Amino acid sequence: MAFNEVCLPLQTAAALRPPGHALVQQSRVNGLAGVEGEALSTRFPILETGNLDYRTRDFVALVARVEIDGAPVDVYVTHLFMSRGDDSLRLYQVQQLLAWIDSRQGAAASIVCGDFNAPLTLPSAALMASRFRPTQTGHTAFTPLAGPDGAVSHPYWARMDRCIDYIWVSERIEIAGSGVCFDKPDPADPTLWPSDHAGVWADLTVAP
């Protein structure tokens, strides 16, 4: 399970980690280093981990090389510049991410998870799609999550009209199924959602 914007003081990723899973976390940098980060929970053996500082607006990426049926697979988790921002910054981040992926040798396949804050029609997501396949393109943003003061998140965007969250897979990964999840509010409270974005799930196989 890959998480964006985990709360480090409250250790929300640790609270969500299933029994028997290891947890890898990478904090944001500079002023956000003690506030939030990216996280990956996995039941597979972890061979190594790494991180990337984009040096842009405190954003980071993490990677864990895990062993799946004897094959080393790199699983990346990242979160790119905000949706309302200039896509040129996200494009720069994607260029950095792809260069980092290319620099890591020895993986049989790669999976990249996260909030890319861009639909496939924008250059940043289109560049990712030139190298990786998205497991699905169903709408993931934005849910009408309300804060403690009742204000709804992202009031300037339409609801659930775009895909900006992805699981990207490399050539040796076969997609058995994928879709959107965590896309319903609490039955007793229509303002309470799991997140301001819906999640993405995928059932994947590493090809021989």
43-56 pLDDT tens trace: 999 999 999 999 99
Report if residue 192 sits inside a domain. Answer: no
Q: Is 64 among the domain residues?
A: yes
Q: Which domain holds residue 25?
A: 2-6+8-145+159-172
What DSSP string runs through the chain? -EEEEEETTTTHHHHHPPTT-EEEEEE--GGGTTTEEEEEEESSPEEEEEEEE-SSTT-EEEEEEEEETTEEEEEEEEEPSPTTS-HHHHHHHHHHHHHHHHH--S-SEEEEEEE----TTSHHHHHHHTTSEES-----B----B-TTSPBS-TTS-SS-B--EEEEE-TTEEEEEEEEES-S-BTTBTT--S-SB-EEEEEEEE--
| pLDDT for position 70 | 95
Is residue 87 one of the residues assigned to a domain? yes
> What are the pLDDT digits (tens) for 15-45?
999 999 999 999 999 999 999 999 999 999 9
Residue 84 covered by a domain: yes
Give domain status of residue 40, yes or no.
yes
CATH number (domain holding residue 113): 3.60.10.10
205 within a domain of the structure (yes/no): no
Task: Count the domains in the chain.
Answer: 1
Give the global pTM. 0.96
Query: What's the rounded mean pLDDT across residues 83-109?
Result: 97
